[in-house]
Amino acid sequence: MRRALGHIIPTLTVISVLVVGCDDILGSKSDKTTEEIFEAGRSEPGLLNEVEYVALFPFFTQAGDGGTLDSPQDVYVGYDELLYVVDSRGLHVLDVSGRGNQFIPIVGGGTSVIQDRRFHVYVTARRDTTVNNEVWNLPVVLHYSGITTGTPMIEDIIWHPFDDDSRKFNLRDPIPTDLEVEFTGVGVLFNNHIYVSRTGPVNRRSSVILPHNTILEFTTDGVNIQALIQLSPTRESLVSSIRPTDVMTFVHPPQRSFFNQERHFLISQEPLNEGDPDLRFPTLSIKAVVTSDGIVYSPDVGKVSIATNPERGDGFLYEPFKLKRPSDMMMAADGTNYIFVTDAAKDSLFVFTGQGVEGVAPPPGSRSSKPVVVSFGGTGNGSMQFSSPMGVGYFDRIVYVADTGNHRISRFRLNTDFE
């Protein structure tokens, strides 16, 4: 089912792009952020860690239409170097200094956002449709083009269940359990196909309906070509998809002519039912290997095995119960390969190396080769605290966190990254 193809969004507020100077984007030696960092450098030795994340002020609270953000759910810096934020009102487009650029209303708001290499933007949300004279509120992935040029259009809408290939022969119309289904995240592949994480109440494989708790792959035309049914939706393992809260691939800005043609991904998940015990490994790294019999999805044994060697670090992605309710993930695709994970239950941001060790590279001349742990957080509204953070983004050495309960986009940079 396709709706609103190629129609310009009618209720769109567009704010002119403002000319931004270098000092506005990067800060200057006279601004509040730099003064705070320099003041810290004058503090008594030992009060400031040699390697840690430092808050960049001001945090962003202004919406794309000049109002204020309301419970931001996700943040992403695209290939066009614009900041995309979804909240309870819709999709906000900001420049990197936090000033409003565009606003696209979405009834009920959005839950996650990402941009592909064509500058197309995907937002997970919900939308009403009428089937057999009955109104259904169903999960959708809204596919936009033209936002970068200021002429946003809906290219396509991916609907559950209409665009689920497993439903094409039977039960194409919604059934009551479809009201409980959610699209929770989108990841972009090298060929601009997308992975979409989906949760819901149907968790057993059948000839009619595939498990709701899974990862789906869609083409650039919105055609569902597979569900990753090798991932168990009910039994915790190193290749499970128990209520997936997000899916992250390794294709992210900055733009380049070639990305590795790999289909590997990370998946975050939470317990199947409220009250169930915490998952031992709620975030999994999955390898996708193409064979003559198709694609085989297997554990990332490198990240699993490194966690058994305490000499490699002081924390690991595969450390049991390290994370509790991971809500979003992001990779630094600038060569550092750091992996950022927000945990809504622990009100924290965790940072791992590309190998799955907690921390970042030690500074030159360090006596230890172990990554330095820089994860931080805690419940509150302080500069290094969060309230149910639901999203994380990264660009040009800056980490952006959708601090949902505090209604802001927080920003951080490693103190070793300041020049």
In the chain, the percentage of residues whose pLDDT exceeds 90 is 77
Distance CA 335, CA 109 (A): 33
Contacts of 102 (CB under 8 A, 6+ apart): 12, 13, 14, 15, 64, 92, 93, 147, 150, 152
* CA 255/CA 261 separation, integer angstroms: 15
Q: How confident is the model at residue 21 (pLDDT cuts 50, 70, 90)?
A: very low
CA 263-268-270 angle, 5° bins: 145
The span from the CA of 119 to the CA of 35, in Å, is 36
Residue 290 has, within 13 A of its CA and on its CB side, a CA count of: 3
Give residue 366's pLDDT: 87
Span 174-211, pLDDT tens digits: 999 899 999 999 999 999 999 999 999 887 444 445 68
Tens digits of per-residue pLDDT, 292-318?
889 999 999 999 999 999 999 999 999
Average pLDDT over residues 141-155: 98
* Beta-carbon count within 10 A of 161 CB: 23
Chain segment 249-302, per-residue pLDDT in tens = 999 999 998 899 999 999 999 998 889 999 999 999 999 998 988 999 999 999
Number of H helices, E strands in the chain: 3, 26
Topology (CATH) of 7-292+381-417: Methylamine Dehydrogenase; Chain H (2.130.10)
27 has pLDDT over 50: no
- pLDDT of 47 higher than 60: no
How many CB atoms are located within 10 Å of the residue 369 CB? 10
Residue 18 has pLDDT above 80, yes or no: no
pLDDT band at residue 50 using 50, 70 and 90 as cut-offs: confident
SS percent in the chain: helix, strand, coil, step 5: 10, 35, 55
Q: Which of 356, 393, 383, 300 is nearest to 57 (CA)?
A: 383
Q: What phi, psi does 302 have (nearest 5°)? A: -65, -45
Predicted TM-score of the model (pTM): 0.88
What's the pLDDT band for 102 if we cut at 50, 70, 90? very high
Reply yes or no on whether the pLDDT at 13 is more than 50.
no
Mean pLDDT is lowest, of 24-28, 101-105, 146-150, 291-295, for 24-28
User: How many other CB atoms are found less than 10 A from the CB of residue 194?
Assistant: 24
pLDDT digits (tens, 9 = 90+) for 52-97: 999 999 999 999 999 999 999 999 999 999 999 999 999 999 999 9
Kindly state the percentage of the chain with pLDDT values over 70. 85
CB count within 10 Å of CB 379 equals 13
pLDDT for position 34: 37
CA-CA distance, 151 to 168, in Å (whole number)?
A: 34
Nearest to 391 by CA among 219, 289, 268, 299: 268
pLDDT in tens, 314-330: 999 999 999 999 999 99
Residue 417 has a pLDDT of 78
- DSSP single-letter state for residue 358: B
CB 102 within 8 A of CB 150: yes
Residue 274 is predicted with a pLDDT of 86
The predicted structure's pLDDT at residue 171: 63
**Pairwise CA distance, residues 134 & 171, whole Å:** 16
Domain boundaries, the chain: 7-292+381-417
Q: What pLDDT, on the 0 to 100 scale, is given for residue 37?
A: 37
Tokens of 125: 């949300």
pLDDT at position 167 is 83
Tell me the pLDDT of the chain averaged across its residues.
88
| Nearest one of 175, 224, 235 to 196, comparing CA atoms | 224
